[in-house]
Amino acid sequence: MGNATTHCPYCALQCGMTLRTDSGLRVEPFDFPTNQGGLCQKGWSSAVVTSVADRLTRPLLRGEGRDLVPVSWEVALDHIAARIRDIQAEYGCDAIAVFGGGGLTNEKAYQLGKFARLALGTSKIDYNGRFCMSSAAAAANRAFGIDRGLPFPVTDLAGAGAVLLIGSNPAETMPPFVRHLDAVRCRGGLLVIDPRRTRTAALTELGSGVHLAPRPGTDLALLLGLLHIVLARDALDRDYLAQRTSGFDEVAAIAVAWWPERVEQVCGVPVADLHRVADVLIAASPRAGGSGAYVLSGRGMEQSSHGTATVTAAINLALALGLPGRRGSGFGTLTGQGNGQGGREHGQKADQLPGYRHIEDPASRKHIAGVWGVEPHTLPGKGVPAVQLLDSLGRPGGPRALLVHGANPVVSAPDAEQVSRRLRGLDLLVVADVVPSETAQLAEVVLPVTQWAEEEGTMTTLEGRIVRRRKAVDAPGAAQSELWIWAELARRLGAPSVWPTEPAAVFDELARASAGGLADYSGVSHDVLDKAQANNRGIYWPATESMLRFDLEQGDPADHLGTPRLFLDRFAHPDGRARAVVVTPREPADPVRREAPIHLITGRLLHHYQSGAQTRRVPELLEAAPAPIVELHPELARRHGITSGALVAITTARGTAYARARVSLDIRPDTVFMPFHWGGLGSANRLTAPTTDPTSGMPDFKLAAASIALVTTALPAQEVLA
């Protein structure tokens, strides 16, 4: 191989990096727009994961002694195909389920959806993006007619007079993103809503910004309170609302009842601070002649059973100020996983076909069936969202087998102990991964696959910018791409259609399949991307051939390839208008009570990523954050006799987890925070609830009623810290 320009394997910022191979594999950043030459510690150390000691290099099959033993690819794939045929013969096609991941390349995400529906004939497919972007996507689709995390380039944020971040901590989750907030912070326009004084919230103190720390689960009421102030001050952009939206009068009628004093009682946020945030937003809005404002949502407000409604409330506030669809202003959501945007566009979701088409739409089924060379009626219908899918495993009438690609649900799914029990009860569990994750350790068959530095492909950033992933080194041992694995299984199962294994060929098919869809990639190919990225920019979808031909002929691809800014002329609904939708606060599914008086919230740490399967294997990252922690306020710690470093037990209705205490003034006294990067007894998701949002299927990660206690026995500590 040789040096290669590519993108980071972690978050959706997709920082540009060059892989150097002259003395082992090492990383150097380059000046890509999303990271502007920077990397976080995870990015700098990303090459380490390619050669960790327990890297999977051979297929593994659980033998007679119940241990996983190495076998050939032929044995492993023959075994999987035979077991699938047997299970289907007894229970039907929907007895086989598939669980994908938001880190898969566009090519893999597309091919996995095709494999599930054609080779397996199953409707039972969903992916871990359901745990990430589903509420934001549902709200955006409802309001704007289309879901693209940021419908504008991230570089636009630098010119804003105000940026309101709700439930997002990019200073830890995607540190290079903070560069885009430097200018607005210096202007005093950085506004952060979070129950914790996170690293991001602390940035407000470096300017004259504002941090609001509401009671967990009350973001929707707080947003209604801000909208109330906008109404009371007659700061609505009435011309914009009349020309570009519908439904706002009904929304305003609800907001009238959420006066600041009521919001203070519900949220615990001082009235004066609410007015300070409203002052900054109003002054920066286009109607006031400001330099522009953005409202950005994150997982903190989205990962709950009322996440879609809360995001909708944020959109309503943005619409009131006339922000979406204007240069220099807007609404967006910060996508988390590396290909969280592209991964949800091309067929991994239960109700979706490539190009962001709905699987039950007859025209969509006809188009995709034509690309795949099958009859539309042979495509299965809509499946079920991830939480429902995982809970149905092994139950009467539920799937008897599961194929997992790019996910670790034993750590990342809510009510994780229940998920483990469901997986253990399956007739067949197949896991494809690069390391023996907690989920892989339960599998009957483990398949070693290639990872980021060992493969070609494409990813789509949080802005909808399609970028190229390039190969720098060969995969170790017998590791193979999932594209090859699915082609081999499709052949063994007698699947129709063709199954290319070269990423460029798969992408060409994806482009044809997406043509005419909301997420239209039809003008894009690996070759076109290589030409566009000569200046390291990428292409924004939608991107048709005629659109790109015009852009390339202009000779100025820096900011004009495809559609960098959606909604400048119209929104994606048939009438071109955005929809303001009435939402109201409701009681949490798991309210605090006498036996569980504390709000538990979960999230990420700077040094780890998602389930931690990769970052916990990087020595410098593990040294910085070696074990689970629980953050709590000194007052709460005092009441329970807890000091920093002490082992504590956190208990919810689902179970108990253990972690070391971190006593800090940076969190509310009624709240504890626990990161979700660990499995076992230190798993935060042993505690979270499987209650889901009725619209998006998002589980209640961010709101659980808990109790906390000091642990005096030694055994749990040994297990947690092993």
User: Model confidence over 342-383: pLDDT tens digits?
Assistant: 999 999 999 999 999 999 999 999 999 999 999 999 999 999
**Fold topology of 4-51:** N-terminal domain of TfIIb (2.20.25)
Same fold, 60-131+339-515 and 134-334: no
Could you give the CA distance from residue 229 to residue 274 in angstroms, rounded to a whole number? Answer: 8
Residue with tokens 């609800």: 254
Residue scoring higher pLDDT (507 or 536): 507
Angle of helix 482-492 relative to helix 106-114, nearest 10 degrees, comes to: 10
508's enclosing H/E stretch is helix 503-514
The mean pLDDT value of the chain amounts to 95
pLDDT higher than 90, residue 554: no
- CATH architecture classification, 134-334: 3-Layer(aba) Sandwich (3.40)
> What's residue 555's pLDDT?
55
Sheet of 457-460: strand order equals 457-460, 465-469, 539-540
649 in Cβ contact with 711 (< 8 Å): yes
> What's residue 532's pLDDT?
80
Kindly report, residue by residue over 5-39, the tens digit of the pLDDT. 999 999 999 999 999 998 889 999 999 999 999 99
Give the pLDDT mean for 290-300.
Answer: 96
Look up residue 639 and give its two tokens.
Answer: 């009441």
Please report, for the chain, the start and end positions of each structural domain, with discontinuous segments joined by +. Answer: 4-51, 60-131+339-515, 134-334, 598-721
**Fold topology of 60-131+339-515:** Rossmann fold (3.40.50)
Asked whether the bond before 496 is cis by omega within 30 degrees of 0, the reply is no
pLDDT band at 405 (very low <50, low <70, confident <90, very high): very high
Q: Phi then psi for 682, rounded to 5 degrees?
A: -95, 15
**Count of CB atoms within 10 A of residue 395's CB?**
11
pLDDT band at 66 (very low <50, low <70, confident <90, very high): confident
Number of H helices, E strands in the chain: 26, 30
- List, in order, residues 6 or more apart from 612 with CB less than 8 Å away: 411, 677, 678, 679
pLDDT higher than 70, residue 715: no
Give the pLDDT mean for 683-698.
Answer: 96
Angle at 687 between CA 269 and CA 644, to 5 degrees: 70
Could you give the CA distance from residue 519 to residue 526 in angstroms, rounded to a whole number? Answer: 17
Backbone dihedral region for residue 396 (phi beyond 0: left; psi -120 to 50: alpha; all else: beta): beta
Give the pLDDT mean for 562-568.
Answer: 95
The amino acid occupying position 221 is A
pLDDT band at 336 (very low <50, low <70, confident <90, very high): confident
The amino acid occupying position 656 is T
> What's residue 722's pLDDT?
41
Give the pLDDT mean for 596-602.
Answer: 98
pLDDT higher than 70, residue 551: no
Share of the chain above pLDDT 90, in %: 92
> What's residue 83's pLDDT?
98
Look up residue 366 and give its two tokens.
Answer: 């006809």
> What's residue 493's pLDDT?
98
**Fold topology of 598-721:** Barwin-like endoglucanases (2.40.40)
> What's residue 718's pLDDT?
46
